[in-house]
């Protein structure tokens, strides 16, 4: 019973951190405003910070989905 509560708490925290990390990402497209901008800004590579944020987001996605499967399957008592 105690492990179920701990896993549930970690699941909730990972979900909150996942939402925050996704909101911290830079938008990929500029929309209609990007048509008037210079072509160089549309094709730049992701920065080092963006790559780190991508790794954090993918790790949190893995944790969140794994714990969701464990909790929904009832495998954690």
User: Is the pLDDT at 72 greater than 50, yes or no?
Assistant: yes
Separation between Cα atoms, residue 37 and residue 43, nearest integer Å: 11
pLDDT, averaged across the chain: 83
Reduced to 3 states (helix: H, G, I; strand: E, B; else coil), residue 47 is: coil
Residue range 23-49, pLDDT digits in tens: 998 777 655 555 555 555 544 555 788
Report the alpha-carbon distance of residue 22 to residue 28 in Å, rounded: 12
pLDDT tens digits, 45-58: 557 888 899 999 99
Per cent of the chain over pLDDT 90 is 56
Helix orientation angle between 48-73 and 2-24, rounded to the nearest 10 degrees: 150
| Whether the predicted pLDDT of 62 surpasses 60 | yes
- For residue 60, CA distances in Å to 9, 21, 32, 51, 75 come to 14, 9, 32, 14, 21
């Amino acid at each position: 019973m105690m492990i179920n509560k701990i896993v549930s708490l970690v699941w909730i925290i990972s979900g909150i951190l996942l939402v925050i990390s996704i909101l911290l990402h830079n938008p990929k497209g500029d929309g209609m405003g990007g048509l008037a901008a210079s072509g160089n800004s549309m094709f730049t590579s992701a920065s080092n910070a963006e790559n780190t944020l991508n790794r954090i987001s993918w790790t949190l996605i893995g944790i969140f989905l794994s714990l969701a499967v464990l909790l929904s399957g009832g495998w954690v008592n």
